[in-house]
Amino acid sequence: MSEASVGIVLVSHSAEVAASVAELAKGLAGGGTEVPVAAAGGTEGGGLGTSAELIAAAAASVDRGAGVAVLTDLGSAVLTVKALLAEGDELPEGTRLVDAPFVEGAVAAVVTAATGADLAAVEAAAAEAYSYRKV
Query: Which residues are catalytically annotated?
Result: 13
Burial of 7 (0-12, 13-18, 19+ CB in 10 A): buried
Q: Give me the residues paired with residue 40 across strands.
A: 11
Euclidean distance between CA atoms 20 and 122, whole angstroms: 20
Q: Which DSSP category does 133 fall into?
A: -
